[in-house]
Amino acid sequence: MNCPHCQKDLPVNYDGGYCPYCGKDLPPPLNVARPLDTNQKISWPWFFVILFLPVVLTMLTARLPAQAGGLAALISLCGGPVSGIICGAMLARRLGRTEGTKIVFGIVLIPTMVVVCVALNFFGCLVSSQGSGFH
């Protein structure tokens, strides 16, 4: 390889950032592999669909007659934790840079998101039942 500035031959396997003869910066080699970004990208629309789908279903089923009222509680108690686990895992994979930090973020974020999702579901059930005359 030659220096693009002074045109002198560079030593074999020379990987310095500057020319040893003229001292000017050398362009980076084209075949050097850059480190891969290990963070997972989040599809935010899907994240919010997963987060709020059980809430919407809870709100819709809470409006049903009293005989089907247990369905809202079932969706709240089952759908909330499932959506919390999925959303927490998505966030952990996005925020962690190494496998270890992804695991640590998962340990912290998954239970937090489960609590948030179940609370959202209970809030949705409460709001829907208040509007329908249940007390």
Q: Which two tokens stand for residue 69?
A: 């009222």
Lookup: tokens for 66? 């009293």
Structure-token match 């994240």, residue found:
47
Model-wide pTM > 0.75:
no
Is residue 135's pLDDT more than 50?
Answer: no
- When the pLDDT of each residue in the chain is averaged and rounded to a whole number, the result is 82
Three-class SS state of 37:
coil
How far, in Å, CA of 68 to CA of 135, rounded? 15
Is there a contact between 42 and 76 (Cβ–Cβ < 8 Å)? no
Q: How far apart are the first and last CA of the chain?
A: 82
Q: Name which of 119, 109, 53, 127 is nearest 83 in CA terms.
A: 53
DSSP-based three-state secondary structure for 96:
coil
Question: What residues contact residue 33 under an 8 Å CB cut-off, 6+ apart?
Answer: none
Confirm if 37 and 62 have CB atoms less than 8 A apart.
no
Listed in order, strand segments (DSSP E) in the chain are none
> What pLDDT does residue 96 have?
87
For the ranges 28-32, 70-74, 131-135, the lowest mean pLDDT is seen at: 131-135
Residues 56-97: tens digit of each pLDDT? 988 888 777 766 667 878 888 899 999 999 999 999 999 988
